Amino acid sequence: MSDTAQQNKASRGVSRRRFMAGTSSIIGAVSLAGRAIAAEAPLVTAAASIPSGAHVPVLVIGTGYGGSVAALRLAQAGIDVQMVEMGMAWDTPGSDGKIFANTTSPDYRSYWLRTRTKQPISNFLGFPIDKDVPRYTGILDAEEMGQIIVYQGRGVGGGSLVNGGMAVTPKRENFGAILPSVNADEMYGTYYPRARAGLGVATVDPTWFDSTDCYQYARVGRKQAQRSGFPFVFVPDVYDWGYMEQEAAGTVPKSALAGEILYGNNYGKKSLQKTYLAQAKATGKVTISPLHKVTSVSPAAGGGYTVLIDQINTTGDTTATKTVTADRVFFAAGSVGTSKLLVKLKATGALPGLNDQIGKGWGDNGNVMCGRANHLWDPTGALQSSIPCGGIDNWTAGGAFAEVAPLPTGIETYASFYLSITNNPNRAQFSWNAATGNVDLNWQTAWKQPGIDMAKSIFDKINAKEGTIYRTDLFGVYKIWGDHLTYHPLGGAVLNKATDNYGRLQGYSGLYVIDGSLIPGNTSVNPFVTITALAERNIEKIIATDL
């Protein structure tokens, strides 16, 4: 059935049975779409995993944006780098011939050590859509930290494996509020351009955007935003736009147009595996140990640091405990990973000299989600690219920047869906819980309210103008706001507070933070370009002065 025929046939009150049928037709299409393309040269060589007793010049904890920038630039400066990653390598196809699972059919590959999925959109038409899956070291961690679920990528490539690739540079006038101690001229003149080049950032061709079925949902988003007086802006991405055009033409296996996102993209997305990490590996000076989790870092007797590492299997059991020494250690475990490690190490006496800023300044980048129900004359399309390409900018007037996001179910839903980044001022703190032996985060659900109010500055107005209503069936029964989660954890080891102005941890020479935990809770847009650019700035200084 053609898309148009499908749209004509669909009704606004689409049934659960039709949703499921639509979903399985996506799955069918995907399984015909051909073999997954494995990385040309594997990033990880199994035999190369770090042996206990090893001594390395530099150990990097985590393989996301910060870690990948550090590894590449250190290696280019001639230094051997050992990267340690708790997630999998994600370079081997599963039994279906694909490396990554589809969004509409999560399986064992999808979630980090869970026996039931925890999908960000938990309901459809009010029905819960989570399902049981085998416990496995899957790609997406839905980490429950107090009253918020923090979604994070797990594996070689970190968040780049699961994210939407939206590669946004904040407006310069907002930069002073994002990183007040950093020279904006240097960032906008040198490090943002360097980061965008390293990541392969590009923008959709506006002519193609205007004609392709797969962005009908975004065109509806643009039309409605503009009718309410909000600017709609194209948002750059690291997805290969030329590849997406070929997907639409039917000449290559589909990824964005098969609804792939959240659990990995088999084609088209330039994750770190294809950019910074591939370049780092090509230097011959970078080794990556996947399924290795750092549990401790403490000063070593003869100088440098002792690093304790659990090697785990795919059900999460520890199969070996390794002790290595490193002259220098870069914490790049992500905002939550780095904060949890540092808070624990300070509290338990491994790194008692860390300062009292450790664990503070954590924010959710103001994330809130919502859907709107459109009229029958505003269908959003049965075919939706999973890669968002535009947003509604009401930051200055209302404190919100809303991605016009897809709802790639494979059927016409008449829904518009949005992930808003808001200027929510609330900040939380990580602390050590001696009773449970865990690190807690004191974020409260009610702290999302300022973000909801800011998002409403856009969507109340659009609903009033269009005569439409919010969807109430996506996050529960009669629940409008997705206020239980974040995709964008930031802070916990804030630059120029927990560290000096380049990420050197106060109190310990040779220990550095180089990931999203440096950023105090908000970037005004999607964060990974800023994380990458800041890492580029800091590592340049560290290489020039410390090594």
Buried b (16+ CB within 10 A) or exposed e, 372-383: bbbeeebbbbbb
Tokens of 304: 């440098």
Question: How far is it, in rounded angstroms, from Cα 15 to Cα 484?
Answer: 26
Comparing CB distances to ligand FAE, the nearer of 81 and 166 is: 166
- Containing 245, the helix (H) or strand (E) segment is helix 241-249
Contact call for residues 307 and 259 (beta carbons, < 8 A) = no
Distance CA 187, CA 174 (A): 13
Answer for which of 23, 152, 228, 394 binds ligand FAE (CB under 6 A) is 152
- The answer to the question of residue 151 lying near ligand FAE (CB under 6 A) is yes
Number of residues that bind ligand FAE (CB under 6 A): 39
Looking at this protein, which amino acid is placed at residue 382?
A
- The minimum distance between CB 326 and ligand FAE, in angstroms, equals 13
Note the maximum CA span of the chain. Answer: 73
d(CA 324, CA 54): 5
Closer to ligand FAE by Cβ: residue 141 or 412:
141
Q: Give me the least distance between CB of 34 and ligand FAE, in Å please.
A: 25
361 binds ligand FAE (CB under 6 A): no
Selection from 26, 23, 2, 4 nearest residue 14 by Cα: 23
Q: Is 72 in the site for ligand FAE (CB under 6 A)?
A: no
Q: Which of 247, 260, 488, 536 does the annotation list as catalytic? A: 488
Positions in 475-504 near ligand FAE (CB under 6 A): 487-488
Asked if residue 153 binds ligand FAE (CB under 6 A), the reply is yes
* 159 vs 379 by CB, closer to ligand FAE: 159
Annotated catalytic residue 412: no
- E strands, 354-473, where? 368-373, 390-394, 400-405, 415-422, 430-433, 438-441, 469-470
Nearer to ligand FAE, 430 or 528 (CB): 528
- Direct distance between the N- and C-terminal alpha carbons of the chain, in angstroms, rounded to an integer: 62
* Cβ at position 170, least distance to ligand FAE in Å: 11
Q: How far is the CB of 528 from ligand FAE (least distance, A)?
A: 3
**319: Cβ contacts below 8 Å, ≥ 6 apart:** 311, 312, 313
Residue in 102, 410, 528, 538 binding ligand FAE, rule: CB under 6 A: 528
β-sheet bridge partners, residue 116: 132
How far apart are the C-alpha atoms of 283 and 362, rounded to whole Å? 35
Spot the catalytic one: 403, 412, 466, 536. 403
Determine, following the binding rule CB under 6 A, whether residue 276 of this chain makes contact with ligand FAE: no
**Interface with ligand FAE (CB under 6 A), residue from 82, 85, 124, 204:** 85
Q: Based on the shown chain and the rule CB under 6 A, indicate whether residue 195 belongs to the binding site for ligand FAE.
A: no
Rounded to the nearest whole angstrom, what is the least distance from the CB of residue 334 to ligand FAE in the complex? 3
Among 63, 212, 499, 524, binds ligand FAE (CB under 6 A): 63
CA-to-CA distance for 493 and 491, rounded, in angstroms?
6
Q: Of 106, 158, 399, 491, which lies in the binding site for ligand FAE, with binding defined by CB under 6 A?
A: 158
86 binds ligand FAE (CB under 6 A): yes
For 272, phi and psi rounded to 5 degrees? -60, -25
Which of 18-26, 146-154, 375-383, 392-400 is the region at the interface with ligand FAE (rule: CB under 6 A)? 146-154
Retrieve residue 178's tokens. 């994002």
292 is catalytic: no
**Residues of this chain that bind ligand FAE (CB under 6 A):** 61-66, 84-87, 151-155, 158-159, 162-166, 262, 293-294, 332-335, 337, 341, 487-488, 515-516, 526-528, 531
Q: Which residues are catalytic?
A: 403, 488
